Amino acid sequence: MPKRIGTWLVAAALAACSSHSHGAGRIVVVLTLDWEGATMSSDALDAIDATRKRFSGAPITHFVSAAYFTKATPDPTATDTLTAAVHTGDELAVHLHAWRSLATVSGVTPRLSPSFLTGTDQLLPFDDGDTGFDVDLDAYPLVDLRAMLRTSRSLLEATHLPVSKSFRAGGYLATPKVLEAIHDEGFTVDSSATDFRRINIGKDEFLGKRLQKVWPTIDSGSQPYRITEKTGELIELPIAAIADYSTAAQIVAVFEAAHAKLRASPSHDVFVVLAFHEETAVDFAERLGPAMATVRTRPEIADELTYTTVQQAAERVRH
């Protein structure tokens, strides 16, 4: 064999061993942002932009509550703020909290308890007088949930941004009833499941217990799965880490575990869904940046990463 050809074959073999072949698995990173329906601030938007830069411009799936548009005195800049925050390549999706104003606009009698934060009828107060943010969605009958979902989608579509078929429940409480409602309204993906152990701290102790009942088997390494009972098919895309409840070290550990999973089964994608919140971005979004900086110092992990949206991740699961 001519030396030149032999050298080329060796180089090609080494490249095949060290690079991804067609169909090889990746660590699929999905960056998600919850807009809770309370307030929008310029400081939060700056924090969101800073986080986006730390993720090298990765797309963001924005789960947005339509309650920004149903207040007694809506913020006149809300539409402009949202359209500026949703960049080309991002995904706009529905996030449902049972705000009293949203229920009313949906033609639904507002439920005023129980709070998913305390289990009582004591709801979080807000300066504008709107309440219901922390009402457990399961308190509403199916028909009311569907009405609030339809209204939410309609209000978000009024921004002239495309609205996807992805959904996240307020308080992460996508109970079987909620899942049935979203399926009946044409949603195809839920990303509410999360590890209750990460929520069971401080004032949110009750929420952790509530989540344990809804998502008893979910942990920070849980992978997407199909839900078919009662709903027809939905893809569930669990959240691996929420910035508000996770340290940078814990987020890095999620990536380390994902890398181990990929090494064990290199032909299959491993999904890592990260979440933060617009209303608390100033305080907690910065935890994501140092975590990603650390991950990028680990080429064995960093070289395996690919970034996508919730809807696109669900398509990878289906295929």
The answer to whether residue 186 sits within a structural domain is yes
Closest CA to 36 of 95, 101, 110, 122: 95
Q: How far is CA 27 from the centre of its chain?
A: 16
Range of the domain at 154: 23-318
Structure-block tokens of residue 203: 């004032």
- What pLDDT, in 10s, does the model give residues 48-72? 999 999 998 899 999 999 999 999 9
Residues 6+ apart with CB under 8 A from 95: 34, 35, 36, 37, 63, 64, 65, 167, 168, 169, 170
Secondary element (H or E) of residue 44: helix 42-54
pTM to 2 decimal places = 0.91
Q: Please give the tally of structural domains in the chain.
A: 1
Answer yes or no: is pLDDT of 19 > 60: no
Closest CA to 32 of 80, 75, 86, 81: 86
Instruction: Tell me the average pLDDT across 210-233.
Output: 91
CATH number at residue 43: 3.20.20.370
The answer to whether residue 118 sits within a structural domain is yes
Can you give the pLDDT at residue 56?
87
Instruction: Tell me the average pLDDT across 244-253.
Output: 96
Best-predicted range by mean pLDDT among 11-15, 105-109, 226-230? 105-109
